[in-house]
Amino acid sequence: MDGGSTGGGVVAAVNDMLPLAMAVALSPFPIVAIVLVLGARAGLRAGVAFSAGWLLGLGSLGALLLIAAARGPGSDDPIGGFVPIGIGLALFAGARRKWRTRPRAAEPPRVPGWMASLNDISAGRAALIGAGLGGLNPKNIGLVFAATTSMAGNGLSRHEAIACLAVFILLGSVTVLGALVARALGGQRAAAPLEAVKQFMLANNNVIMITVFLLIGAKLIGEGLASLSG
């Protein structure tokens, strides 16, 4: 990152990171988790704690990877072209695994065992789970790494990179924060719509993630190949 980039670099960085941020936002498990937390005894308080933890975890991950990307090989370094290719191939592998583990016809969606405890959770534990899902999720690590590498490769100044990272975090959190806002404004009236969203995400978890992994993987591999050929 340098100190004299132009607005064009910011626009390019935002365009590059937008699909990656949407892939973070569309991850089913954080959406299901926030809905379960909002329906717990602690309700809105636990939901606020979960959302704060999510933002902290995702933001900390982004900051660390942005620093690493700024010190790594630049976009004109041939080695840099292999990074998005590697992430893209890893996403393809993730799509293959999701396909192989997809529920069969008429089979109820599988809910991870740790989610069962979210129905009766304290605000402190909700914050820890939110931070873990935001900052320690392997899928998030790959997507945030790709986003921060793109930011570093667009020659942004430090302030521009921080602003782009903030935009990325907000876009990647839109579903979690959207559920929180819906519960805060709608009260118990929001319970039924949020439950419908939860059931949809559980039922279509594999389909959603396969689609996201394939699209983002293809994008990253294409960018890596273009970098190597350029």
The b-or-e profile of 185-199 (16+ CB within 10 A means b, else e) is: eeeeebeeebeebbe
Rounded Cα gap, residues 20 and 168, in angstroms: 8
Evaluate whether 179 touches 31 at the Cβ level (below 8 Å). yes
* Paired tokens of 156: 């942004």
Mean pLDDT of all residues in 30-39: 92
pLDDT tens by residue, 173-229: 999 999 999 999 998 899 899 999 988 988 888 888 899 889 888 988 888 888 777
Is pLDDT above 70 for 5? no
Rounded average pLDDT over 148-168: 86
Mean per-residue pLDDT over the chain, rounded: 85
Q: In the 8-state DSSP scheme, what is residue 102?
A: P
pLDDT tier at 131, thresholds 50, 70, 90: very high
pLDDT in tens, 69-123: 777 655 455 556 787 888 889 889 989 988 888 777 667 766 667 777 787 888 9
pLDDT category at 158 given cuts 50, 70, 90 is: confident
| pLDDT value of position 224 | 82
